[in-house]
């Protein structure tokens, strides 16, 4: 049975883009507008020498602001409970917002190991957000650009001992 990695994070941080990058097929819907992905997706990922099952959490992005946190929490906690590792993505360009901090609190209550990852980290536009993310308490983030395929070697290195 393949180990399971759940990609979690608030809407629009690039979860589906990373999922597509890891699975290598356009299985997850990606759109410029936040709120497009409706269903949770699962696929078989291959990363250098690692094979694992990956879950793209979604299905809450079309909720209104009032119901979003509750729906997100249910989706996130369900995926993380069945995962060997939670890959917690934030948008390095946007920096840390209250919803990221809220997700961090949920993840701390779970026994599943968490890897923090700074997406959209191509170039230098994410440097400030990466500094802000230290306050989440998950250590230095892995720096990724899901869109450009950068940082996947570093992701491999942090996943390897956990899978």
Q: Check binding of 129 to ligand GDP (CB under 6 A).
A: no
| Length reported for the chain | 163
Structure tokens, 57 = 């959490």
Closest CA to 104 of 94, 119, 89: 89
Question: How far is residue 130's CA from residue 102's CA, in Å, rounded to a whole number?
Answer: 17
Question: Using an 8 Å Cβ cutoff, are 122 and 13 in contact?
Answer: no
116 binds Mg ion (CB under 5 A): no
Q: Give the total of residues touching ligand GDP (CB under 6 A).
A: 20
11 is in an annotated binding site: yes
Binding status of residue 12 toward ligand GDP by CB under 6 A: yes
Find the part of the chain contacting Mg ion (CB under 5 A) among 32-40, 45-53, 95-103, 106-114: 32-40
Say whether residue 76 binds Mg ion (CB under 5 A). no
* Contact between 57 and ligand GDP per CB under 6 A: no
Pairing relationship of beta strands 50-56 and 142-143 according to DSSP bridges: unpaired
For residue 51, count other CB atoms closer than 10 A to its CB. 11
Site for ligand GDP in 27-46 (CB under 6 A): 30-32, 37
Footprint of ligand GDP (CB under 6 A): 9, 11-17, 30-32, 37, 61, 119-120, 122, 145-148
């Amino acid at each position: 049975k393949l180990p399971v990695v759940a990609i979690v994070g608030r809407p629009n941080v690039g979860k589906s883009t990373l999922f597509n990058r890891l699975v290598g097929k356009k299985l997850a819907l990606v759109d410029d507008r936040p709120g497009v992905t409706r269903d949770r997706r699962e696929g078989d990922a291959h990363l250098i020498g690692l094979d694992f099952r990956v879950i793209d959490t979604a299905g809450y992005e079309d909720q209104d602001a009032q119901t979003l946190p509750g729906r997100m929490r249910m989706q996130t906690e369900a995926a993380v409970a069945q995962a060997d590792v939670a890959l917690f993505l934030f948008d390095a360009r946007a920096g840390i917002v209250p919803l990221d901090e809220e997700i961090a609190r949920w993840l701390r209550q779970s026994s599943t190991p968490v890897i923090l990852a700074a997406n959209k980290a191509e170039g230098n536009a994410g440097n400030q957000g990466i500094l802000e993310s230290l306050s989440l308490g998950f250590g230095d983030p892995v720096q990724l650009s899901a869109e450009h395929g950068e940082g996947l070697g570093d992701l491999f290195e942090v996943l390897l001992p956990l899978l």
